[in-house]
Structure 1
Amino acid sequence: MGIQTVSIIGLGALGIMYGQHFSKRLPKGNVRIIADTERIKKYKKDSIYCNGEQCDFHYVTPDEQVTPADLLLFTVKFDGLDGALESVKHHVGENTIILSALNGIISEELIGEVYGHDKLLYCVAQGMDAVKVGNKLTYEHKGKLVFGDKVPGIISDKTKSVSEFFNKVELPHEVDTNMSKRLWGKFMLNVGVNQTVAVYKSNYGTIQNEGEARNTMIAAMREVIALSEKEEIFLSEKDLNYWLNVLSTLSPEGKPSMAQDVEAKRKSELELFAGTVLKFGIKYGIPTPVNRMLYDQINAIESKY
């Protein structure tokens, strides 16, 4: 029968965007948004809007007994992953396929340790320019989910099943047979874009055009390239240019998640980006001065909240 039911944990920008997409193409009960009781009350009271349209989501609490999902999608922030791992326990069964759209390069390992690496496909969300303010999400470009197997060079039945489902529900996607490199490539982009736009308190337009901010972004990304060689991922200038081309397609007025966090005076995913780069730099004895500068500046911004 293929994939019939989808559960989503995390109703940030990606959770709303994908939740709305699936909800408009599947029976209401087949798309489940997992949230605690207080959050559900707030969502129902204030409503959630996606590009001006009110979302009609089917909510379930973590304690609710449900049939395990065919597909489980993690769209929480990294600091919410531990809680999310507990909240989804009733949604994971023998045949559940799990995708993580979290930033960074370690969420799959953490999820796999709890629910089994055999259930996971590696995944990155790229090319979207979604901006969430309060209960309202807006975007021009939905981007795509890129996914595949941990082992390079294969396309498993799980990957084929997800691709067939995404074709059925018309969700933009791509299958990649070298997902470790793709994850590191997206990590490289986030290290550059998220942090630079946050420090310059700007938007995508600032780093799409030549100037100091774009130079800072690219320098931060090149530090990731140097580290990737030590991890035998071997990112290159070709990969950097690929991600710069992805960046060029985004709405200039859009903002990455870290810039949105800074504006809202929320704790950002700094440790996931520059924090990770600095740790790898120490591990391999490779200088990472640009990421050190970004780390210090964002820390200073957050200390004033």
Structure 2
Amino acid sequence: MKIAIIGAGAMGSLFGGRLALAGEEVWLLDVWEEHVRAINDKGLAIAAADRDIVARPKATTRLEDIGTAELVIVFVKSTATAKAAETALSLLGPDTAVLTLQNGYGNAEAIAAAVGAGRVIAGTTAQGATLLGPGRIMHGGSGETHIGELGGGLTARLEKIAACLTRAGIQTVADDNVASLIWGKLIVNVGINALTGITGLKNGELAEHDETRQVLALAVEEAVRVADAAGVKLPYGDPVEKVLAVAVATAQNRSSMLQDLSGGRMTEIEAINGALVREGERYGVATPVNRVLTLLIKALEKLPRENRP
């Protein structure tokens, strides 16, 4: 399968590398020239707990190098989703599907506005990765990936993409309820990302301290009340225990929000805890803990890089 990945950060590189190792034709599209050059010259180095491996996806900064793809995966930050969706238009053939595995709420809808809802597959992943430098990432933790058609139901293309990812070592389940998937991942991110960004802790360290466990639980419980008000059935039973389990499963991972703060970049807070606050306002559910977490991250974004976690 010819696969184009828009956004070759930690997660885009992880998925691109694993898919290339499985024999798929993979193109990574990114604006970071040094990263692209390193991948093309030396391959993509993936550091993992058991061993280090080198994958050889193709990488480019030029959209026109790729041509059309059978599958486009969007892995940019939520702040760049609309632009990535416009980029995806140049990669579309008659049957191209566009998959989003991004953090946050509203990405699938933004992509659908550009490429059409019928092409969009949304998903969530518990994989964790950290960008170490040009051409180098660390695979920080594994977990299931779930994907579903934006319009619901199970289709042949959904099963084909799930099988392709699974062959690449990314265990993937085709699901018929995408809203549940997105809310389920949103609540995981609500519990982990802002708290790691504020404290500077790795994911697994959140579960080691009573204080961070308590804040995590408060944020997640608020999010569950909003999901209930929206009529969403979550894909797991005990949300707080689920979020803690994900934190432990990705113990060595520095969350994307922490990586952004450390790197002096803007975060996706408005698409995560901020989105939860807005949905709470929409349904009349108070979200004071998530409002505070949102405001603290936005305050940290204004600090010089050397003063951030």
- Normalising by structure 1, we get a TM-score of 0.88
Report the equivalent of 2:257: 258
Q: Distance in 2 between matches of 1:144 and 1:62?
A: 32
Structure 2 residue 22 is matched with structure 1 residue 25: yes
SS of the equivalent of 1:50 reads: strand
Report the equivalent of 2:307: none
Q: For 1:111-162, what per-residue CA distance to the aligned partner results, in whole angstroms no more than 9, with x for missing partners? A: 1111111111221111x2312233231124233321122345x311221221
Comparing 54-63 and 223-232, the one that deviates more: 54-63
Report the equivalent of 1:93: 93
| C-alpha distance 49-65 of structure 1, shift in aligned 2 (>3 A) | closer
After superposition, residues 136-151 of structure 1 pair within 5 angstroms as 136-151=136-151
Q: For 1:208-251, what per-residue CA distance to the aligned partner results, in whole angstroms no more than 9, with x for missing partners? A: 12411111111111111111122110448624433332332222
Letter in 1 for 2:245: N
Report the equivalent of 2:110: 110
After superposition, residues 1-305 of structure 1 pair within 5 angstroms as 4-26=1-23, 30-36=25-31, 39-40=32-33, 43-44=36-37, 48-51=44-47, 53-64=53-64, 66-126=66-126, 128-135=127-134, 136-152=136-152, 154-235=153-234, 238-251=238-251, 253-305=252-304
**CA RMSD, Structure 1 to Structure 2 (Å):** 2.3
Q: For 1:239-266, what per-residue CA distance to the aligned partner results, in whole angstroms no more than 9, with x for missing partners? A: 4433332332222x32211111122221
| Unpaired runs of at least 5, structure 1 | none
Q: Structure 1 residue 18: deviation in Å?
A: 0.9
Q: Distance in 2 between matches of 1:21 and 1:45?
A: 17
| C-alpha distance 223-14 of structure 1, shift in aligned 2 (>3 A) | same
SS of the equivalent of 1:11 reads: coil
| Unpaired runs of at least 5, structure 2 | 305-309
Letter in 1 for 2:8: L
Q: Distance in 2 between matches of 1:67 and 1:121?
A: 21
Comparing 131-140 and 217-226, the one that deviates more: 131-140
Identity between Structure 1 and Structure 2 (%): 22
Tell me, yes or no, if the aligned pair for 2:130 and 2:254 is still in contact at 8 Å: yes
Structure with the larger strand share: 2
Q: Structure 1 residue 296: deviation in Å?
A: 1.9
Tell me, yes or no, if the aligned pair for 1:40 and 1:59 is still in contact at 8 Å: no
Q: For 1:32-82, what per-residue CA distance to the aligned partner results, in whole angstroms no more than 9, with x for missing partners? A: 11235xx34552158653215555331344541654211111111111222
